[in-house]
Each structure stands twice: as C-alpha cells, then as structure tokens.
C-alpha cells in the first residue's frame, strides 16, 4: 500500500520525539518507512516543508479554548501558554522546529494566533498587539529551548533530577512579568 504524507509526518514526529533533530534525516525516514529516499520527495517538496508540518502537528495537542471575557483574558493567555509549553517541552528541539515553521508559514500555527486574539480581547491596543504576541512567543520558545539544551548537556553529566522544576518556575515568572508589564493582571496566580 502506498506511502502517504501523513505517514511521513508521523514518522518524522516519531524520530524527532525519540532522537532529536540531529537524527531526523530524510534518509533515516526513508529507511524507517522502507522506501528509497527519492520517494519522500514525491510527498513533500523539501525537508523544510516537512518540518513545518511537523511543527503544526505538535500543536494539534492544544485544543482551541473558549473565547474568554475581557476580565478573564489575561488568565486565558497564561493558561494557553502553559498548554503550549506542555505540548512542546517533551519533544527535543521542538523550539527550533517551531521557530522555523513560524518564519516559513506562520499561518499554519493556529494556537499562536489565538494568543493575538486574546490580547485584543484583553484590551491591548491594536498597535501593540502583534508586538505583545511576539514577546510572549519569544519567551515561550526561548524558555523551552534553554530548558532542553540544559537537559541535553545534563545527559552528559549525572542526571540531576532537579532540572525539570527549574524550567517551570522560570517560565511562569516570565509570563507573569510580561503580562504585568502590559498592565494585564491575571486574576488567579
């Protein structure tokens, strides 16, 4: 039975999740799927295009939240960011993949657009909203990247378990700071 694009994306997500971006090569995917390398290029135009689809797939785990009221919007933003972090934090190099996708085809990453929607609902002036979204997304991807690179280095050393909560705390601190700086105070801590 013929290979499908979906199977190719699945395989790519699998290799990324288990082994990271360095091991995610077209040749390896071909081996995994029992086809020749060239076959993959009938289903995707390039490796980059495949990675954009991988990024979108990673965010499928995040369901669209109900539209919040203005008063609840700051909390909804914080909650959405937490969910995005949870979806990405366990996948090695996910921050890098997301960055690529965001620059190549941002419209394929719906959940990042919801942040913009919620900022508007919260009352952030239209002129600031896109900037504000960038600050939040930079923080999201930056923290994930730093956390994962720390893990990667720690893998060489002894596995000092404490590395997981450090990232959580740092991430939440940043979200609180940024929202406060926009004069958006989440109601619940």
Partner DNA sequence: ACCTGAACACCGTTCAAGT
Give me the residues that bind a copy of itself (CB under 8 A), please: 99, 102-104, 128, 130-132, 134-135, 137-139, 141-143, 145-146, 149-150, 152-153, 169-170, 173-174, 176-182
Q: Choose between 11 and 56: whose C-beta lies nearer to a copy of itself.
A: 56
- Go through the chain and tell me how many residues it has: 189
| Tokens found for residue 135 | 């600050």
The sign of the dihedral angle between the CA atoms of 63, 69, 72, 75 is positive
135 interface partner picked from DNA, a copy of itself, none, CB below 5 to 8 A per type: a copy of itself
Q: Choose between 27 and 180: whose C-beta lies nearer to DNA.
A: 27
CB crowding 79-116: b at 16 or more within 10 Å, else e: bbbebbbebbbebbbbbbbbbbbbeeeeeebebbebbb
| Tokens found for residue 188 | 């619940």
Binding-site string for DNA from residue 42 to residue 81, where x marks contact by CB under 7 A and - marks none: xx--xxx---------------------------------
| Interaction of residue 173 with DNA, rule CB under 7 A | no
């Amino acid at each position: 039975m013929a290979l499908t694009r979906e199977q190719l994306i699945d395989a790519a997500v699998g290799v990324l999740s288990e082994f990271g971006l360095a091991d995610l090569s077209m040749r390896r995917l071909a081996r995994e799927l029992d086809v020749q390398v060239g076959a993959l290029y009938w289903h995707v135009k390039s490796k980059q295009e495949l990675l954009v689809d991988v990024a979108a797939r990673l965010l499928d785990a995040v369901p669209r939240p109900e539209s919040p009221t203005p008063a609840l919007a700051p909390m909804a933003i914080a909650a959405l960011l937490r969910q995005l972090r949870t979806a990405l934090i366990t996948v090695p190099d996910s921050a890098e993949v997301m960055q690529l996708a965001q620059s190549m085809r941002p419209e394929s990453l719906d959940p990042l657009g919801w942040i913009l929607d919620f900022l508007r609902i919260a009352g952030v002036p239209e002129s600031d909203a896109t900037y504000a979204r960038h600050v939040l997304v930079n923080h999201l991807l930056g923290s994930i990247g730093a956390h994962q690179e720390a893990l990667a280095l720690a893998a060489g050393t002894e596995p000092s378990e404490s590395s997981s909560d450090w990232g959580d705390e740092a991430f939440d601190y940043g979200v609180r700071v940024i929202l406060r700086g926009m004069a958006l105070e989440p109601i619940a801590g």
